[in-house]
Amino acid sequence: MKNRLRIIGGDWCSRQIIFPDVAGLRPTPSRVRETLFNWLRHDIVGARCLDLYAGSGALGFESASRGAASVVLVDSNPEVCAMLRDNIDRLNARRMEVEQVETVQFLSQPAERDFDLVFIDPPFRRRLIPDCCRHLERNGWLARNAKIYIESEREAALSGIPEKWVELRGKRAGEVCYCLYSRTASE
């Protein structure tokens, strides 16, 4: 079975993306996406974005629709990656690419490029966020003043957030807790 969701802003506003019915795949709700992209309205145009645990690709497609310079979608599920590529083709989204690999494996290697905006939205209740944060910081994935968005289950206590990251905003909606961090520039 295929599911659909609408892009809520930018060039592809109201266009639909399709995603497979895969266990653990939980697109960011439209209300949360709207809030997040209001927070990022001054940061998204021209940004280099990394969407980890991409799933439906909602955050990555929303970023590209709103003017991101490039978007890399990372997911390990072959069916999910095939659907992400199909959506890229349907939208003629030339600034987007898919990496089919386990997220921690992808981040464990030294970065070939850095990113201005990173989305971390892993499957719930698997404690994947601390490793992602650690690898992002250690292996050069983040630009000097990068913004990092983390989405988790409401009851999770976020741990493992690097000291260089400052929480800018945070909210809860239903079963979801979401926060936006800024990486403070190092001298």
pLDDT, tens digit (0-9, with 9 covering 90-100), for 85-109: 999 999 999 999 999 999 999 999 9
**pLDDT tens sequence across 50-80:** 999 999 999 999 999 999 999 999 999 999 9
For the chain, what are the domain ranges? 2-183
φ, ψ dihedrals at 2, nearest 5°: -110, 140
How far is 37 from 142, CA to CA, in rounded Å?
Answer: 19
* Banded pLDDT at 145 (limits 50, 70, 90): very high
Q: pTM for this one?
A: 0.93
CATH superfamily assigned to domain 2-183: Vaccinia Virus protein VP39 (3.40.50.150)
How far is 85 from 57, CA to CA, in rounded Å?
Answer: 10
Query: In Å, what is the CA distance from 119 to each residue of 39, 73, 87, 105, 187?
Result: 13, 10, 19, 16, 25
Q: Two tokens at 31?
A: 């209300």
How far is 173 from 178, CA to CA, in rounded Å?
Answer: 8
Q: Two tokens at 29?
A: 């709700």
